[in-house]
Amino acid sequence: MSTLRDLAEEHTHLRPADIDHLHRIAGDWQLLSDLSFADLLLWVPVDADGTFLCVAQVRPTTAPTAYQDDQVGRIVGGPEVAHLGVAYSQGRIWREGDPVWYGDVPARHEAIPVRLRTAEGEAGEVIAVVGRDTNLSTARTPSQLELNYLTTADDLAQMIADGTFPPPRHPGETTSAPRVGDGLVRLDAGGKVTYASPNAQSAYRRLGYASHLVGEDLAALHRRLAGDPLDGTEASNGILAALRGEAPPRREIDARGATMLTRALPLMPAGVPIGALVLVRDITEVRRRDRALITKDATIREIHHRVKNNLQTVAALLRLQARRVSMPEARVALEESVRRVASIALVHETLSMSSDEAVEFDGIVDRVASAATEVAATEVSVGMRRRGSFGVLPAEIATSLVMVLNELLLNAVEHGFPPADEAEEPPVPAASGMVPVAAPEVDPSLRPEVVVSAHRFRKMLHVSVADNGRGLPPGFDAERASRLGLQIVRALVTGELRGTIELRAGANGGTEAVLVVPLARNAHDGRSQG
């Protein structure tokens, strides 16, 4: 299904500012649909002959829909959209006409012109039409609630025609807001409550106000109810701002252990301030769960911090033991273990500062690469470079991948650029039993370098660690290699990461290790899937 922007750009000559305004309407018109008990369809003119295209649709949550099928993408002309033509050409709300039938459903047509106000604040030209179509099959005598809903809907419809609804969104404010069914309060021009829905009355009762809201000064009531004077003042100022014709940000009120979210909207049909509409929602349980999640998140971060400290302690003990060991082979083995433990500690250090179980992996790779050049047993100065981005990785992938990269980077530095005396020695016979020949010499004109590359493609992470060193020994077989580091790499890649690894000669000399790791997770067993 094409989006509003796609349809408008493909079929109309609307300006980007016009399309942005239509997006704002579509982002806020569920309110008008629920108050109207009607479907809303956003129509834009296609040709000068009176043809219109439906670019968006919303159904009410308070009444049955007039359309069983989506109307988005439908292009209509002729008598069927004559009411849209009147609203578009004359710039007024069209309410005349008899009910029409959509199959077995009788419906009432209305058409609301959409204006975008100019930079000077004046009413601009009509750019679209909102069709308000009401299912009449369940028509009955309206209750007080329904009458107040419909009256408020008419005021907002006039504000769409004036170009003053929806109000501009505040920076950083989400589209989440109380809905009509959560609780609705209507105020007169003086800020007194003229109507409060039953759900709104219940929400205020949770805050400790047991009396009827009708007749109350809502701004003053918010100041009295709020447990925090600052919150009460902000909530009160929001009501007063709406009465002045402004659109304040959403506010929360905490009192007696309960929390209520409020949204105040000015009512200014034809530019005349007549009061305000206040939507309220009891979010006590939502905030309670938020607090529980914050506590749980802090606990998890503290666990990662302690694991990092414990791993660093283990690394320090291994380093101390390495200094006391006289056998060179044992000392080397302990020092390698120190580096492996330290690389895992890096992941937990990052997780201890993160708000979720995921890490920005680029920084970890850079630190591991820098450490590899410092501790590798080689006299050659090797440069490290990262190309591309790993992005954010889940902890279960990051922990294993950092160990794999640590081993590959150390191997690339130590075996790709060995000390001068070692480079002159003949290579050790390969585990495959093949007779080796002299290893290729390193081009002295090339600066020793290891490049770590990463990119994502179709939910797979592709990683390569390439050096421009002396390359693999002839007859090298990664599957039969006896080095512990390569055994760890193979076990982690094929086991924990459920990926593949290939060691091969680089295109321009040297060695390249290529990894492919799935990023998607199977919900049943927690394993990665390709």
Sorted by sequence, the CB contacts under 8 Å of residue 403 that are 6+ apart come out as: 340, 343, 344, 488, 492
**Exposure string (b/e) for 12-32, b if CB count within 10 Å is 16 or more?**
bebeeebbebbbebbebbbbb
User: At 115, which amino acid appears?
Assistant: R
**pLDDT score recorded for residue 439:** 44
Q: What is the pLDDT of residues 279-332, one digit of tens each?
A: 999 999 988 888 887 777 777 778 878 888 888 888 888 888 888 888 888 887
CA distance 325 to 370: 27
Residue ranges, the chain, pLDDT below 70:
1, 173-176, 353-356, 374-380, 418-446, 475, 477-482, 521-530
pTM above 0.75, yes or no: no
Exposure of 274 by Cβ count < 10 A (0-12 exposed, 13-18 middle, 19+ buried)?
Answer: middle
DSSP tag of 506: -
Structure token digits, residue 496: 């924990």
Give the helix ranges, DSSP H, for 226-283. 229-243
Cβ atoms < 10 Å from Cβ of 526:
8
Q: What is the pLDDT of residues 234-248, one digit of tens each?
A: 999 999 999 999 999
CA distance 37 to 136: 10
CA distance 341 to 344: 5
**pLDDT score recorded for residue 527:** 43
